[in-house]
Amino acid sequence: MTIAIEGSEEPEENPVSRIIKVTPDIAGTFLSRNSVNRRLDVGRVRALAEAILRGEWKLTHQGIAFDKDGVLIDGQHRLHAIIEANTPVEMFVFNGLSNDIFPVLDTGRSRSAADTLLSTGAKYRTLLSATIRHVLLFKMIPNDPWSGARAYVSNDRILAAYNEDKDRYGEAVSIGRELSKHLFASQTAVAVGYFVTTEVAPAAELDEWISGLKSGASLDPGDARLALREVPKETPRRSSSKRRMGMRDQVAIYIKAWNAWVEPEKAGELRLRRLGKREKMPLPVEVKFER
């Protein structure tokens, strides 16, 4: 569609757009016309492919673009994702764009997950989006690094997860902000730890757990809550090392303390420290009856 602007002259040849169902074969054909695109981000391709397979693909203005010479100048990640997912999707295909626009493609600020949550009216969106992302990583790749290409989580998936369980995520963020004042861990790590333990514990038990962590009052020396409160004192800090404890380690320590509190008879000598090289992420122990 061409929109005429008063007082301006239309160019001799306008770009043309149309909606096409791009199959894996068509995607391969389009990619054969690729000569100037950026280096492929495998993680982004995988994330887009997984979104397609989950049925989360949506038709937007972002599609595939060719210049006047028929060279692909935008959309290579979407095309590779279609091939990897082996699933056709509808998208806009633009033809006849100016040959000199490639340097200005995708130079705007990317929409963050916190931006995506803006429409929900939720508070503390940056913390909320980080919490949701790491809860999803805990469920998807608990024993792999939570950084790099494999750890990419799409904004759509974060928004969908929030809409499915918004009350518990909101509560986790609130607890994370408050409880992190008393612990070594970040607000995000505490929120994630709280969220995943709420799935296996009745509210009354969680209240006892949280109140003990907040006050530390009248806790026995062997109480796991006291041990968790004292992690900073027991964690050696090398003045020459500026490496921060990673999110997986922080969440793991929180869960280890939880498990030792739920099943003190199995805790043995509790050691709250970073995950070992081959150590797996602990899973929260379920509270099956009133303690």
pLDDT digits (tens, 9 = 90+) for 6-23: 443 444 467 788 999 999
Beta-strand pair 64-67/16-22: unpaired
What CA–CA distance (Å, rounded) separates 183 from 191?
Answer: 12
Mean pLDDT, all residues of the chain: 83
pLDDT of residue 45: 87
- Quick: pLDDT tens for 123-164: 999 999 999 999 999 999 999 999 887 888 888 889 989 999
State the residue for tokens 């998807």.
140
Residues 151 and 160: their CA atoms lie apart, in Å, by 17
Q: Exposed/middle/buried for 165, CB within 10 Å: 0-12, 13-18, 19+?
A: middle
Which of 94-98, 193-197, 264-268, 273-277 is least confident?
Answer: 264-268
Sheet of strand 72-74, all strands in order from the earlier edge strand to the far edge: 16-22, 89-97, 64-67, 72-74
What pLDDT, on a 0 to 100 scale, did the predictor assign at position 103? Answer: 52
Q: What's the pLDDT score for residue 289?
A: 52
212 falls in which pLDDT band (50, 70, 90)? very high
Q: Residue 106's closest CA among 140, 79, 82, 77?
A: 77
Buried b / exposed e over 50-84, threshold 16 CB at 10 Å, is: bbbeeeebeeeeebbbbbeeebbbbbbbbbbbbbb
Percent of the chain with pLDDT over 70: 83
Q: Confidence class of residue 206 from pLDDT cuts 50, 70 and 90?
A: confident
Work out the pLDDT band at 195, boundaries 50, 70, 90.
very high
- pTM value > 0.85: no
Percent with pLDDT over 90 in the chain: 43
Going along the chain from its start, the domains and CATH numbers come out as: 16-96 (3.90.1530.10), 113-267 (no CATH)
Cα 44 to Cα 110: distance, rounded to the nearest angstrom: 13
| Alpha carbons 78 and 62: distance in angstroms, whole number | 9
Q: Is 95 helix (H, G, I), strand (E, B) or coil?
A: strand
Report the alpha-carbon distance of residue 215 to residue 240 in Å, rounded.
33
